[in-house]
Structure 1
Amino acid sequence: MTNAERAMVMLLEDESDPGKHAVTPEVEGSSDGFVLSNGQDDEYPDEDTVPIGEALRIVEHIVGTGSWPADARWVVDC
């Protein structure tokens, strides 16, 4: 999910998996404009999202290899 500047990148193994998501823990602030298909407009802390270029790199790696990039920072969602 993206607001065109930052993206929330999540990886789920299956329906019951809480997943993990990409982070940039060194940044502060928050960004809005993450619009869901039902029209809901969400805001996320910037530390829980990544810049759009990094998001594209992470997704390209996952699609190409089936695994999370070794150098990408992420947290497990509980």
Structure 2
Amino acid sequence: MVEFWTVDDGGAGPVSSEGALETLRARIGAGRLETWLIGSAGRSLAVVTNTERAMVMLLDGEGDPGEHAADPGARGSSGGFVLADGQHDEYPDEDTVPIGEAFRIVDHIVGGGSWPADAHRVSDR
């Protein structure tokens, strides 16, 4: 069964991987730095960014701590990750990825259903 993804903002129906990326870029450009995509199989894909780096999380269902993209060896931390409720977060850079890598990961998950084979990720389970 093919999984379909929708943006969790009350918008239109399923989006393609290209549509998901367009939506992400538009939301980031408008200062909306947290985006959730909901899969028809019950999974959730979250992207929280500071416009330079992003926390990308994939959860298998409600209550699942999931897994997140990682940048092994990255040093330091970055702030400016603003959640929809106004909370400002800071994450170690090793727990986030550059924004271009985040887009590549989202494209692959929405388009193909899984993480790119070469993408680093950490299980939070």
CA offset digits 1:5-60 (Å, max 9, x no partner): 00000000101211000000111000000001111100000000000000000000
**Alignment match, 2:62:** 15
* CA RMSD across the alignment: 0.7
Please give the residue correspondences for 1:1-40 in structure 2 after superposition, counting only pairs within 5 Å: 1-40=48-87
Runs of 4+ in 1 over 3 A off after TM superposition: none
Q: Within 2, Cα distance between the matches of 1:67 and 1:23? A: 15
Q: Please identify the structure whose Cα radius of gyration is greater.
A: 2
Larger relative contact order (CA 8 Å, sep ≥ 6): 1
**Alignment match, 2:118:** 71
Aligned amino acid, residue 6 of structure 1: R
Question: What secondary structure is seen at the aligned counterpart in 2 of 1:8?
Answer: strand
Q: Within 2, Cα distance between the matches of 1:41 and 1:13? A: 25
Aligned amino acid, residue 96 of structure 2: T
**Unaligned runs of at least 5 residues, structure 2:** 1-47
Q: Within 2, Cα distance between the matches of 1:67 and 1:17? A: 16
Percent identity between matched residues is 72
Aligned amino acid, residue 77 of structure 1: D
Please give the residue correspondences for 1:47-66 in structure 2 after superposition, counting only pairs within 5 Å: 47-66=94-113
**Unaligned runs of at least 5 residues, structure 1:** none
- How many aligned residue pairs are there? 78
